Amino acid sequence: MSMRKPYKVTIGPAELWLTDALEAKERIPAQASIVSDPPYGNGYVHHGGVRGNRAAMKQTASANARGLSSLRNNDKPFDPAPWCSFPRVLLFGADHYCTRLPEGGSFLVWDKSIGKGPADSFVDAEFAWCNWRERRNVFRMLWKGLACDKRGENNGLREHPTQKPIRLMAWCIERAGGDLICDPYMGSGTTGIAAIMLGRTFIGIEIDRRWFDIACRRIDAAYRQGILPL
Give 10-residue mean pLDDT values along the chain (230 residues): 72 97 97 96 47 40 46 80 97 96 96 91 94 96 89 88 95 98 97 96 97 97 77
For residue 112, give the nearest of 79, 158, 68 by alpha carbon. 158
Q: Residue 54: inside a domain, yes or no?
A: no
Please tell me the predicted confidence (pLDDT) of residue 48.
Answer: 41
| pLDDT for 155 | 84
Kindly report the CATH number assigned to the domain that includes residue 212. Answer: 3.40.50.150
Spatial separation of the C-alpha atoms in residues 7 and 176, rounded to whole Å? 27
- The model's pTM is 0.84
CA-wise closest residue to 215 among 202, 199, 227, 226 = 202
Q: How far apart are CA 199 and CA 33, in angstroms?
A: 14
Give Cβ neighbours of residue 51 (< 8 Å, ≥ 6 apart): none
The residue range of the domain holding 183 is 7-40+77-99+149-225
Identify the pLDDT of residue 40.
Answer: 84
CA angle 110, 98, 25 (to 5 degrees): 90
Answer whether residue 23 is part of any domain. yes
pLDDT confidence of residue 63: 38
Domain for residue 49, yes or no? no
Q: Is residue 132 part of a domain?
A: no
Residue 52 falls inside a structural domain: no
Burial environment of residue 211 by CB neighbours within 10 A (0 to 12, 13 to 18, 19 or more): buried
Counting the structural domains of the chain, the total is: 1
Phi, psi of 28 (to 5 degrees): -80, 130
Q: What beta strand segments (E) does the chain contain?
A: 7-11, 14-18, 33-36, 88-92, 106-111, 125-130, 138-140, 143-144, 147-148, 180-183, 201-206
Q: Is residue 123 part of a domain?
A: no
Q: Tell me, yes or no, whether 218 lies in a domain.
A: yes
Residue 93 lies inside a defined structural domain of this protein: yes
